[in-house]
Amino acid sequence: MTVNSASSSASVLLSRILESAWNLGGWVLAALRGLHWGTVAEIVTAVATLGVALVAFFQLRRFNNQVRADFTYKVYCDLCEWLRTHPQAQRWVEDPDKILPLDFERYDEWEIYDFLTYFETVWSLWRNDLVDKEMVYDLLSEDLIKTYEANDRQIEIMIREMQTEDEDSADVFIGVEKLYNKMKQMTERKNPR
């Protein structure tokens, strides 16, 4: 093959490519000529509306996450305040195996019912996806697991006794038990042995 024939082949190929592009461009122009400019405006409006809707969706989602985090922190602060005003219960929560074992007398005296009610409330919020679950784990799991398992699981035994007192009390502190189980599952998942 000579230089002239190679040049000629390249020239023919280039001219065919340009011709195809020209035909494609002509087709696009013909399609645009057939479009009514009102239709173009409608398409642009639809695309812009979709863009605004997407931005709003992601902003609202971020806002919702912030509200859940703030609410979770508020629940935690309420529990800390309750513990601050109940020093005997606070000492028991901080080191439940070191303090006297919990019995029904201390349960009433230290108002442990209120302490457990916080976790019952957190379970209701958790179940309805109103709190940040990872944040609940970070802030509350240690206290719940530690007190639930302390003194040979005395809290669990007391809850079981309360649940069997009469037929209306079968679900007493069931949220505490479910939250405890969730916290244990998350702990095992985060800290595999």
Model pLDDT for residues 165-187, shown as the tens digit of each residue: 877 777 888 898 999 999 999 99
Q: Is the per-residue pLDDT at 28 higher than 70?
A: no
Asked if residues 159 and 176 have their Cβ atoms less than 8 Å apart, the reply is yes
Secondary structure (DSSP) of 143-173: HHHHHHHHHHHHHHHHHHHHHTSSGGGTTTT
Q: Is the per-residue pLDDT at 32 higher than 60?
A: no
Question: Half-sphere exposure (CA, 13 Å, Cβ side) for 4?
Answer: 0
Secondary structure (DSSP) of 33-84: HHS-HHHHHHHHHHHHHHHHHHHHHHHHHHHHHHHHHHHHHHHHHHHHHHHH
In this prediction, residue 137 carries a pLDDT of 93
Residue pointed to by tokens 């005296």: 109
Domain extents in the chain: 3-34, 59-190
Helix 37-85 and helix 87-94, axial crossing angle in degrees, nearest 10 = 110
- Burial of 19 from C-beta contacts in 10 A (0-12 / 13-18 / 19+): exposed
Q: How far apart are CA 46 and CA 41, in angstroms?
A: 9
Asked if residues 158 and 119 have their Cβ atoms less than 8 Å apart, the reply is no
pLDDT band for position 104 (cuts 50, 70, 90): low
Q: How far apart are CA 55 and CA 38, in angstroms?
A: 26
**Alpha-carbon torsion 108, 113, 116, 118, what sign?**
negative
Record the pTM.
0.64
pLDDT band for position 96 (cuts 50, 70, 90): confident
Provide the percentage of residues in the chain whose pLDDT is more than 90. 16
